[in-house]
Chain A
Amino acid sequence: AQSVTQLGSHVSVSEGALVLLRCNYSSSVPPYLFWYVQYPNQGLQLLLKYTSAATLVKGINDFEAEFKKSETSFHLTKPSAHMSDAAEYFCAVSDRESGGYQKVTFGTGTKLQVIP
């Protein structure tokens, strides 16, 4: 069974500081990994997706994540936080052998606060 653990339900950073949101996964097969962002009262939007083509994945708005198999981690980073980055971020894992449907397991989310 697959699962996702996001460390820290709330993270605060100063504007311009490094953003680091942690995600660890477990999966019995090589996984697909995702980061989604959710702004207040909206649905989720995909930030980036890992598909095994490259361990360092670049997404929108200068976010990137690195897949580390040995650590079973897929942490999200951004070099310099903007006020507009304040949102909730979800890590998700998808089983490659899900057949005709996509069973995606989401983490519990991390709310990012950016302090001016």
Chain B
Amino acid sequence: SQTIHQWPATLVQPVGSPLSLECTVEGTSNPNLYWYRQAAGRGLQLLFYSVGIGQISSEVPQNLSASRPQDRQFILSSKKLLLSDSGFYLCAWSRGANEKLFFGSGTQLSVL
């Protein structure tokens, strides 16, 4: 069966510090991978998606970047965090277009 792992579960970082959130998927190959951010009362905002190794597309301009060094690994990064980067970050995968999304358990990021 397929599983998705996302860590850490919670993170408190000072403004200006770097960020690295990691997501891995097991039990499937060549998944579509996604990073979402969830802000209170605003639903989920798609940040990045990837259809293959090294292929990253950004949905919104921002302080964050993403990388996919391996088929089932998706990393969300920042060189310098801003206060506005605080939020709940969710990694997800799907088998293909218009297939259901499988979500990780999320990372609550607080930038102070």
Contacts and interface: CB of A to CB of B under 8 A. Distances in A.
Contact of B99 (A90, A102, A103): A102
Interface residues of B, number: 26
Given A102-B94, A103-B46, A104-B46, A49 B105 contact: no
Interface of A: 9, 32, 34, 36, 41-46, 49, 90, 94-96, 98-104, 106-109
Interface in B4-51: 6, 9, 32, 41-44, 46, 49, 51
Contacts of A46: 100-102
B111 to A, nearest CB: 18
B32 A102 contact: yes
B39 to A, nearest CB: 10
23 contacts: A36-B101, A36-B103, A41-B106, A42-B105, A43-B6, A43-B104, A44-B44, A44-B90, A44-B103, A49-B100, A96-B98, A100-B51, A100-B97, A101-B32, A101-B49, A101-B51, A101-B97, A102-B32, A102-B94, A102-B96, A102-B98, A102-B101, A104-B46
Contacts of B41: 9, 108-109
A15 to B, nearest CB: 26
A62 to B, nearest CB: 19
Nearest to B32: A101
Contacts of B67: none
B57 interface: yes
Contacts of B99: 102
A99 B57 CA distance: 14
Interface in B83-111: 90, 92, 94, 96-106, 108
A45 B103 contact: yes
B104 A101 contact: no
A108 B42 CA distance: 5
A9 B42 CA distance: 10
Contacts of A44: 44, 90, 92, 101, 103
